[in-house]
Amino acid sequence: MIPTQQLERNKVDQSYQFNPFDAEFKANPYPYYDYLRTHDPIHWGMLGGWVITRYADAKAILKDPRVDEAPMPDSFRKKSQYLAKKERDLEALILASQHWLFFLNPPDHTRMRGLVAKAFKGQSLQKIASEIQAIANQLLLPLKAERTLDIVTDFANFIPIKVMMKLMGLPKQDEHFVRGWVRDIFSIFDPLNSLHKCEEMNQISLEFRDYLQHQINQKRKQPQPDLITALLEVEDGGEKLTDAEIISSCMMLGAAGEGTTASIIGNSILALLNHRDQLELLKQQPHLINKAVEELLRYDSPTQLVLRTAREPLEIAGKIINQGDFIILCLGSANRDPQQFVDPDQLDLLRSDNQHIAFATGIHFCLGAALARVEVPIAINTLVQQLPNLQLAINRVEYHDNVVTRFLKSLPVTFDVA
Ligand code: HEM
């Protein structure tokens, strides 16, 4: 078993400052969250923003119309102005990200969300479910004879991209480079991107944009039963999406749905292997899977934090958040708040009243939650049911260097041949 609760709660230093880059925090953030929730729930952090760790506060802020999304494309614009002196720019990255729902506020958000959600809802999740099961089976089949596999690098990393390629109607043979682009563009969410990283993402945006424009042109000529065609055709109150908006939305859907879904598959198997009674329960009662996935999302949430800025001054628990202040909402902490969840550090697949906010809440509630709720249960049940005597093959795990997502680099396991 990997001791994920190594650090005792009372061992957190009394002068603790929120630092998501700290190696110990990365390995196990939960005792630190617990300290902040108890001692400084509205914490002014070293990153120059307010760190919110309690469930009630996070939920209230997510629903507060006085709070805006963090304007990420603006930060790219500022960097681009600086680069202009060196005859370089981030124009492609700015164009690629400027229609992402994550960075929009009403009324722009309302219009874009209405159109993208309408196109997305038109896709049949029932049909997708049988395709996801086929993808999971195909991935596992050649690995089953090996008695060992890496849950993350052999399995979880492939499921979401394969599903996304099918959903969007992109050619199967392009999967390798589309996955590379989507992974790299995911760093758009990282508020502390270096100039070098932004230039890399700018280059990827250029290539990805040309590729998607070509796909759009094809589908305009020959419509297909897929999401890109649906985005081309969707209309809401006389409004339609431009090609630039479709390109930006496809990049957004790829980036938003790939890393998050891959990470919850890895995090879930690790959590189950660390709680063998719960693994056994799921093995014996596979029909519990949907409830189990909600608990796994709560227990080790893939999106650990989301960012906002205050459009107006706010008062929360006696502290004043000034206009323009940066707010870091720790969803991973909110989902472990004892004021909201009984025995929150316990993985309990039968937990009732599980109102977790792993998909956030309010107007930015995850657009892909319904898809994730089909994809993740199939992926986890396939692994749990098809791999007998699943065991961890390592005693220390490592996470990707991303402050927003809790994403294992790898998770080697062993199992018996059925
Ligand atoms: C387990 C997997 C997933 C998790 C944990 C997750 C989590 C989240 C969270 C926390 C947000 C809110 C962000 C914010 O408030 O700033 C969000 C928004 C969003 N998610 Fe997901 N997500 C997952 C899967 C997906 C998938 C599969 C897709 C699409 C294919 C997707 C597309 C989106 C989009 C487009 C938004 C922006 C919605 C808006 O701003 O209106 N997500 N997601």
Task: Give 33-79 pLDDT, tens digit per residue.
Answer: 999 999 999 999 877 899 999 999 999 999 999 999 988 778 888 88
From the CA of 302, give the closest atom in ligand 1. Answer: 5
Whether a cis peptide bond, with omega within 30° of 0, leads into 41 is: no
CB 74 within 8 A of CB 59: no
Residue nearest to atom 9 of ligand 1 (CA): 359
- For 362-413, the pLDDT digits (tens) are 999 999 999 999 999 999 999 999 999 999 999 899 999 888 999 999 999 9
**Cα 253 to middle of ligand 1, angstroms:** 8
Ligand 1 contacts CB of residue 371 (under 6 A): yes
Whether the Cβ atoms of residue 264 and residue 376 lie closer than 8 Å to each other? yes
Q: How far is the CA of 313 from the centre of ligand 1 (A)?
A: 27
- 143 secondary structure, DSSP code: G
Lowest mean pLDDT among 3-7, 20-24, 209-213, 271-275: 3-7
Helix axes 159-168, 175-185, angle to 10 degrees: 110
| 260, 329, 330: residue to mutate for ligand 1 pocket, most atoms within 8 A of CB | 260
List, in sequence order, every beta strand (DSSP E) within 26-111: 42-44, 50-52, 67-69
pLDDT value for 6: 44
Locate the ligand 1 atom nearest the alpha carbon of residue 104 and give its number. 40
pLDDT, tens only, 162-199:
999 999 999 999 999 999 999 999 988 887 788 899 99
Given a cut of 60, whether residue 326 has pLDDT beyond it is yes
pLDDT digits (tens, 9 = 90+) for 225-245: 999 999 999 999 899 999 999
Residue nearest to atom 15 of ligand 1 (CA): 364
Centre of ligand 1 to C-alpha 6, Å, is 30
- Cβ atoms of 368 and 297 within 8 Å: the answer is no
Beta-bridged to residue 308, according to DSSP, are 69, 327
Burial class (CB in 10 A: 0-12, 13-18, 19+), 255: buried
Q: Which is more confidently placed, 18 or 376?
A: 376
Q: Does ligand 1 have an atom closer than 6 angstroms to the CB of 257?
A: yes
State the residue for tokens 């898809």.
Answer: 371
CA distance 215 to 224: 11
| pLDDT of residue 1 exceeding 60 | no
**What spacing in Å lies between the alpha carbon of 172 and ligand 1's midpoint?**
24
CA separation for the pair 155, 139 (Å, rounded): 7
User: What is the C-alpha to C-alpha distance for residues 329 and 334, in angstroms, rounded to an integer?
Assistant: 8
Helix (H) or strand (E) holding 330: strand 326-330
Q: Are 214 and 68 in contact (CB under 8 A)?
A: no
| 359/74: higher pLDDT | 359
Q: Is the CB of 367 under 6 A from ligand 1?
A: yes
Degrees to nearest 5, angle at CA 413 with 411 and 417: 150
Q: Where are the beta strands (DSSP E) in 82-152?
A: 148-150
What pLDDT is recorded for position 2?
Answer: 44
Compute, in angstroms, the gap from residue 257 CA to the centroid of ligand 1.
7
Measured in Å, residue 390 CA sits from the centre of ligand 1 at: 30
Task: Give nearest CA residue, ligand 1 atom 24.
Answer: 257
On the CB side of 324, CA atoms within 13 Å amount to: 0
pLDDT of residue 14: 61
Q: Do 402 and 190 form a contact (C-beta atoms < 8 A)?
A: yes
Quick one: average pLDDT of 242-261?
96
In this prediction, residue 11 carries a pLDDT of 54
Is 260 touching ligand 1 by the criterion CB < 6 Å? yes
* Residue 411 CB-density burial (10 A; 0-12 exposed, 13-18 middle, 19+ buried): buried
227 lines ligand 1 (CB under 6 A): no
Whole-number Å distance between alpha carbons of 15 and 28: 18
Reply yes or no on whether the pLDDT at 361 is more than 80. Answer: yes
Residue 346 contacts residue 299 (beta carbons within 8 Å) = no
Q: Is the CB of 256 under 6 A from ligand 1?
A: yes
Q: Is 298 in the pocket of ligand 1 (CB under 6 A)?
A: no
Domains of the chain: 9-414 (1.10.630.10)
Strands 314-316 and 148-150: unpaired
Q: Render pLDDT for 70-110 as a digit per residue (tens, 0 to 9).
A: 887 788 888 888 888 888 889 999 999 999 999 999 999 99
**Sign of the four-CA dihedral 113, 118, 119, 120:** positive
Residue whose token pair is 């999302």: 297
State the sign of the Cα–Cα–Cα–Cα dihedral 161, 167, 170, 173. Answer: positive
What's 287's DSSP letter? G
State what percent of residues in the chain have pLDDT above 90.
82
